[in-house]
């Protein structure tokens, strides 16, 4: 006897779990095959699990040919009635069915009168979620299969496959420093790390300052030998020092370009507010301000041209 293969349309639906298959085996062993297996193009259109059970339990197999003109619609309605499928699963099934005719010579498109919109309607999903499902399907059939099987939701699959943003290619990022100059991409990671680490370090110090402040205010005896006042003042100056780890402007000497060898920013590409205010001469500041103003003008000109 030649073994029957499931029709590709049937394979658009998730397989039942091994436990469910076991239950089906037992049921068919006890009661025989009640629902006839439906064939189409020499393959199982509906009943691939029942067929499996019949083989496993040596049960007599009954088959009939599908007589209608809409095998896809038939398979959808048979499966939708029988099983609970989540929205994402249904969207992926619709996308898979709509995709089936592509590159599957064993299926004649004439036998697949189902369009994406019809599949969407029958399966009760929006065209938009089918669009999402289609893009997942084209990127990774494996992930698409996980969606069909309910192992991962449609939105989680979408997220998983979202391409990482292309790395910025230009010299400047679109993020300005504190004086309005765009931060070069090359120094942006260090800039952002400095900003976040300095911030959390300052928060730690503030927490300690709070302890000594309270000790002072409440005259807490447990701190009587611990110099709360001195410590509070020390910590205040520590906090002030940490402020100099916070980036303020792109280095005014190397412009964040040749920072590796720059003795002014010490290889950071940026400087603190303190350094900017105390060590950058007025002439340089003026030149930078003019540069920023010109940049704004030209970008405004570009955006008004676009309008
Ligand atoms: Zn520098």
Q: What separation in Å is there between the alpha carbon of 291 and the centre of ligand 1? A: 18
**Each residue's pLDDT tens digit, 221-244:** 999 898 999 999 999 999 999 999
Please state, in angstroms and rounded to a whole number, the distance separating the CA atoms of residues 25 and 46: 16
Number of H helices, E strands in the chain: 12, 7
pLDDT value for 298? 74
Q: What separation in Å is there between the alpha carbon of 267 and the centre of ligand 1? A: 6
Q: What separation in Å is there between the alpha carbon of 279 and the centre of ligand 1? A: 13
Q: What separation in Å is there between the alpha carbon of 269 and the centre of ligand 1? A: 5
CA atoms within 13 A on the CB side of 306: 6
Query: Given pLDDT bands bounded at 50, 70 and 90, which one contains residue 168?
Result: low
Residues with CB under 5 A from ligand 1 (ion): 251, 253-254, 259, 262, 264-265
- Hey, which of 112-126, 142-156, 284-298 has the most confident mean pLDDT? 142-156
Q: What separation in Å is there between the alpha carbon of 57 and the centre of ligand 1? A: 79
Q: What separation in Å is there between the alpha carbon of 201 and the centre of ligand 1? A: 24
Cβ atoms of 80 and 121 within 8 Å: the answer is no
The DSSP secondary-structure symbol of 46 reads: E
**Each residue's pLDDT tens digit, 54-103:** 999 999 999 999 998 888 889 888 888 778 889 999 999 988 888 776 55
The DSSP secondary-structure symbol of 246 reads: S
CA atoms within 13 A on the CB side of 247: 30
Model confidence, pTM? 0.50
For 22-47, give one letter per residue: b (16+ CB within 10 A) or e.
eebbeebeeeebeeebbbbeebbbbb
* C-beta atoms surrounding 160 within 10 Å: 13
**Does the pLDDT at position 177 exceed 60?**
yes
Could you tell me whether strands 43-46 and 63-65 are parallel, antiparallel, or unpaired per DSSP bridges?
A: unpaired
Q: What separation in Å is there between the alpha carbon of 260 and the centre of ligand 1? A: 8
DSSP string covering 75-119? HHHHHHHHS---HHHHHHHHHHHHHTTTT-TTS-GGG----HHHH
**Each residue's pLDDT tens digit, 269-304:** 999 999 999 999 999 999 999 988 887 777 666 656
Backbone angles phi, psi at 96, to 5 degrees: -65, -45
Percent of the chain having pLDDT more than 90?
61
Q: Which two tokens stand for residue 77?
A: 């309605």
Could you tell me whether strands 249-250 and 172-176 are parallel, antiparallel, or unpaired per DSSP bridges?
A: unpaired
**Each residue's pLDDT tens digit, 124-143:** 888 888 889 999 998 888 89
Q: What separation in Å is there between the alpha carbon of 250 and the centre of ligand 1? A: 8
Query: Given pLDDT bands bounded at 50, 70 and 90, which one contains residue 118?
Result: confident
Closest CA to 291 of 172, 186, 188, 168: 172
**Does the pLDDT at position 165 exceed 70?**
no
Q: What separation in Å is there between the alpha carbon of 272 and the centre of ligand 1? A: 11
Please state, in angstroms and rounded to a whole number, the distance separating the CA atoms of residues 179 and 43: 71
**Does the pLDDT at position 104 exceed 70?**
no
**Each residue's pLDDT tens digit, 16-29:** 888 999 999 999 99
Q: What separation in Å is there between the alpha carbon of 280 and the centre of ligand 1? A: 12
């Amino acid at each position: 006897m030649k073994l029957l293969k499931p029709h590709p349309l049937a394979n658009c639906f998730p397989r039942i779990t091994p436990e469910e298959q076991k239950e089906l085996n037992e049921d068919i062993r006890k009661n025989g095959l009640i629902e006839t297996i439906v064939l189409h193009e020499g393959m199982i259109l509906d009943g691939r699990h029942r067929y499996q059970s019949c083989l496993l339990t040596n049960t007599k197999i009954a088959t009939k040919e599908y007589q209608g003109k809409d095998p896809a619609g038939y398979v959808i309605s048979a499966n939708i009635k029988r099983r609970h499928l989540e929205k994402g699963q249904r969207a992926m099934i619709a996308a898979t069915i709509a995709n089936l005719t592509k590159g599957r010579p064993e299926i004649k498109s004439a036998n697949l009168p189902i369009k994406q919109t019809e599949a969407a309607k029958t399966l009760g999903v929006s065209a938009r979620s089918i669009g999402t499902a289609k893009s997942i399907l084209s990127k990774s059939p494996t992930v698409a299969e996980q969606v069909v099987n309910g192992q991962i939701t449609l939105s989680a699959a979408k997220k998983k496959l979202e391409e990482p943003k292309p790395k910025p290619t230009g010299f400047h990022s679109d993020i300005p420093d504190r004086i309005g100059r765009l931060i070069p991409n090359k120094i942006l990671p260090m800039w952002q790390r400095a900003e976040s680490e300095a911030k959390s370090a300052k928060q730690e110090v503030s927490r300690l300052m709070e302890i000594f402040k309270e000790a002072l205010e409440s005259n807490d005896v447990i701190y009587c030998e611990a110099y709360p006042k001195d410590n509070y003042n020390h910590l205040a100056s520590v906090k002030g020092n940490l402020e100099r780890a916070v980036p303020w402007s792109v280095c005014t000497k190397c412009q964040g370009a040749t920072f590796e060898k720059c003795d002014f920013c010490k290889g950071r590409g940026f400087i603190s507010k303190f350094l900017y205010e105390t060590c950058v001469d007025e002439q340089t500041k003026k030149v930078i301000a003019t540069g920023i103003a010109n940049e704004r003008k030209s970008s405004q000109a570009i955006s008004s041209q676009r309008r």
